[in-house]
Structure 1
Amino acid sequence: MTFYGCSSDKPEKPTTPPVVEQPAVTDTTPADTVAAEPEPEPEPAPTPAPTGGGLRPHAVQDGSLATLLETVARNMEAQKLAYVSSLGQDCSGIYHKLKDSVKLHIPAFRDPARFTFPEYASVRSSRHIAYWYHEHDNLYIVRDGKAAMNMVKPGCVMFFGRTDEQYNNITIDLLTNPNGNFVHDGINGKIMHIAVVTSVEKDENGNVVEYTMMHGRNTRYPASRSSGNCDCPSKGLDKQFGKFPFGNWNQQWVAMANIETPVE
């Protein structure tokens, strides 16, 4: 099984967002496609994390959110969404479509007094999305994939570095390049790929050993889920994932966020 980032080994190209009057999800994920699933009922918004902290707690039970995400992912896969940046179908565009679909089916998420989300028109690239979560105290920089494995849950937004590059002293500037318009300049802006976790697999001790994620993949594959993102030598992947535990094949897992952000 092979996994690739946006445009395979090519960096995600920044694009000028098209003018949209509807949420990004409406042209590919109609509201009635998931209507058969019960809507998860969010719990009260949790206490905000301290500035510079890690992830905000999920506002929806993991099982309910996983059920919704799996359904949304299946509907998106059925549409065979080719990797086309101008249509919002690259990796960051697929994130926005999935995020907007989740908002459509959880009414509380549409209440701006309770929850906030990055918008497609103004926060377009994977690097800018990561920085948005950082600014809203809902981004955890992953310096050790194995140590962070049990933080992975359905609804986690995963960020990955450039192909075959390994990073040790990770900072938000290195990942996103906010002073360079969120474009990779050879030094900063290392995030290359984004995905959303739809399910996790745990061992008998309750530890996460593998997860499945939904993402816009590359020009060879339509948007779809992929698994095998693990630290699992029993599957013959120890050589590759020994370098990038829980990464996107040959891309290091560098940061994560929870898809929803409570308003302070």
Structure 2
Amino acid sequence: MAANNLPADEEEFRNFSQDEMEEMKTTFEAGNLEAVAKKLQEKLETLDKIQLHIAVTGETGSGKSTFVNAIRGLGDEDAGAAKTGEVETTMQPESYPHPTLPNVTIWDLPGIGTPNFKADEYLEQVSFQKYDFFIILTASRFTTHHTQLAQEIQKMKKRFYYVRSKVDADLYAAQKRRPRTYNEEEILQKIRNDCIENLKRGAGELSPRVFLISSWDLAKYDFHLLQQALEDDLDVEKKRAFILALPNISAQILEKKKAAFKREIWKLALLSGAM
């Protein structure tokens, strides 16, 4: 087999360390396909076992459980869906494995916002160390409970993302109130600005980023921006698991999944001696 058959794009090798890449290249150029195939097999098995834990938190009524279902591509009535309701239905962290990727788990955490809420105690209660990142939801304004939680998460060297949920309900109400002057973009920007100003005042953040979503239609609003932010912040190995776990809500996500699968195909082809 000619050495130049090895894919030149280093993106394909980003799951390998520099030393592994050099070793693979040397072994490949020496014609030892069996050793290369063995190394690839070991790496594929390792990747399939990588765990990704996503925590979803927010006050009661913010739509946490519906978001947990939506991000897994499930409706509230589907088998395996998180329980939803107008009252708090989550008293302990509830784990929900991805329907087709058992190594990806979405966690529905208990609601925040009780009178005696303490962010540090809450994080200990939910075993914060197990999660790769936190999604902090609100269906209205971000309060001191949200900002205290974000500050504690930051102290613990974990990433978090502010998400304003149920924007579809806000748009519907605005259209009913003022049908003649209704402007969707202006209303969305007003919601975004309001959230940002609250976070600046409450958390002292200079440029907080807020993602506007509707769990009933993830293809609209800012879900694609949230998805991109998460991808950018995850390490290479966990990024692969995250991309494959995303619901098929847009052509962009489908293309990313397609690219991820293509990267696996050439590896499997090499393992089988087809390359």
TM-score range with shorter-chain normalisation?
A: under 0.3
More helix by percentage: 2
More strand by percentage: 1
Tell which has more relative contact order, 1 or 2 (C-alpha 8 A, sep 6+). 1
TM-score with structure 2 setting the length: 0.25
TM-score with structure 1 setting the length: 0.26
